[in-house]
């Protein structure tokens, strides 16, 4: 898609940005939005300023899929420093506690990490965007306040040791929605009779989006400067975020009903739940929900 340098455009699609260190998710979004001159943009799940890696940026009609991205499993590469803990759980906060660094071999750490596989509960950190009585927890934390937080269910589907280096360990982990890696690192260190904090955090995968699909801001800027267009390899189709969902194709009469927000009575060959909706020309038209009573309910209509 060609970028008009003089005006903002209705750009519809998804960009997988390799967010750089020190940048907030919103700032990264605004930088790309300005670069490609997009009228409307949002992101599908934020990253802390100190974290790097995959930030899903949705533009135009693609902003409608943002809420559905929050439930996806996410994969991170983590560097945990042992012997120190910080107020924030990452390198942004001051050191508040130290411990002896205990040196262990590969098998020891593999065993420790395996203990965190599967379902468990986790207490969110004070330095988080969760709210308590209408206030963000991190704002309360900055005032020195600590409030009770309810433990939440999480699931860790894989966790693999990547290396051991002096006072740090590196591992790759895939987690469910709502999992705080900073808390996980603290718990791993505690299991090994130490304290620790997240020194580096890099997100490499969200749902079906892969690390190889990411691009840096510099790469995007260079492509636009050289070609005057957003490369199709960079601007992904709106429905690319939903490819792990079943698909349903509608005939013209059904499509008109769907587009008008009317339920469609039919028996589609999909189980109940959300599905991608297409017309007979394979054009993506929306998100529907298949009910057990054989009704397809329109949930989102896309104007592409």
Element (H, E) at 246: none
Question: Which has the closest alpha carbon to 182: 169, 199, 158, 202?
Answer: 199
Residue 48 is a catalytic residue: yes
- The whole-number pLDDT of residue 12 equals 92
Position 214 pLDDT exceeds 60: yes
How many whole angstroms separate alpha carbon 276 and alpha carbon 285? 8
Instruction: Tell me which of 221 and 194 has the higher pLDDT.
Output: 194
**What are 12-48's pLDDT values in tens digits?**
999 999 999 999 999 999 999 999 989 899 998 889 8
How many whole angstroms separate alpha carbon 297 and alpha carbon 289? 5
**What are 145-197's pLDDT values in tens digits?**
677 788 889 999 999 999 999 899 999 999 999 899 999 999 999 999 999 99
How many whole angstroms separate alpha carbon 199 and alpha carbon 201? 7
* CATH class of the domain defined by 13-71+209-238: alpha beta
Domain boundaries, the chain: 13-71+209-238, 74-205, 245-301
Question: What would the mean pLDDT of 226-231 be, rounded to a whole number?
Answer: 70
Q: Where are the beta strands (DSSP E) in the chain?
A: 13-19, 41-43, 52-59, 74-82, 84-86, 95-98, 118-122, 131-132, 135-136, 152-165, 168-175, 196-206, 247-249, 264-265, 273-278, 284-290, 295-301
How many whole angstroms separate alpha carbon 150 and alpha carbon 263? 39
- The whole-number pLDDT of residue 1 equals 54
**In the CATH scheme, what is the code of domain 245-301?**
2.30.130.10
- The whole-number pLDDT of residue 3 equals 54
Percent of the chain with pLDDT over 70: 92
Give the tokens for residue 234.
């960079």
* CATH architecture group of domain 74-205: 2-Layer Sandwich (3.30)
What is residue 123's DSSP assignment?
A: P
Q: Which of 48, 187, 239, 279 is catalytic?
A: 48
Position 229 pLDDT exceeds 70: no
Question: What would the mean pLDDT of 206-226 be, rounded to a whole number?
Answer: 90
Ranges of H-type helices in the chain: 25-36, 66-69, 106-114, 137-142, 181-191, 217-227, 252-259
Give the tokens for residue 151.
């433990």
Strand order in the sheet with 284-290: 247-249, 273-278, 284-290, 295-301, 264-265
How many whole angstroms separate alpha carbon 138 and alpha carbon 149? 13
**What are 110-129's pLDDT values in tens digits?**
999 999 999 999 988 777 67
How many whole angstroms separate alpha carbon 89 and alpha carbon 180? 10
Query: Do the domains spanning 13-71+209-238 and 245-301 agree at the CATH topology level?
Result: no
Strand 273-278 relative to strand 247-249, pairing: parallel
Strand 284-290 relative to strand 273-278, pairing: antiparallel
């Amino acid at each position: 898609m060609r970028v008009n340098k003089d005006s903002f455009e209705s750009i519809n699609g998804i960009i997988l940005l390799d967010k750089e260190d020190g940048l907030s998710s919103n700032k990264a979004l605004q930088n790309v939005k300005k670069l490609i001159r997009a009228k409307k943009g949002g992101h599908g799940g934020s990253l802390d300023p100190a974290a790097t890696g995959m930030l899903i940026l949705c533009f135009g009609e693609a902003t409608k899929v943002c809420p559905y991205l929050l439930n996806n499993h996410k994969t991170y590469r983590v560097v945990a420093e042992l012997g120190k803990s910080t107020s924030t759980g990452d390198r942004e906060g001051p050191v508040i506690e130290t411990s002896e660094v205990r040196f262990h071999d590969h098998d020891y750490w593999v065993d420790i990490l395996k203990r965190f596989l599967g379902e468990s509960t986790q207490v969110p950190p004070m330095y988080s965007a969760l709210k308590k009585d209408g206030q963000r927890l991190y704002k309360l934390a900055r005032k020195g306040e600590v409030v009770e937080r309810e433990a939440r269910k999480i699931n860790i589907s894989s966790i693999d040791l990547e290396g051991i280096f002096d006072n740090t360990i590196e591992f790759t982990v895939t987690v469910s929605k709502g999992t705080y890696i900073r808390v996980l690192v603290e718990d791993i260190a505690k299991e090994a009779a130490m304290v620790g904090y997240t020194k580096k955090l890099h997100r490499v995968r969200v749902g079906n989006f892969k690390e190889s699909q990411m691009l840096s801001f510099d790469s995007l800027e260079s492509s636009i400067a050289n070609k005057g267009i957003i490369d199709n390899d960079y601007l992904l189709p709106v429905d690319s975020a939903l490819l792990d969902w079943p698909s349903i194709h509608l005939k013209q009469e059904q499509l008109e009903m769907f587009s008008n927000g009317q339920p469609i009575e039919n028996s589609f060959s999909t189980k109940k739940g959300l599905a991608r909706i297409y017309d007979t020309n394979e054009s993506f038209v929306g998100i529907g929900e298949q009910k057990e009573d054989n009704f397809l309910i329109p949930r989102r209509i896309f104007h592409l």
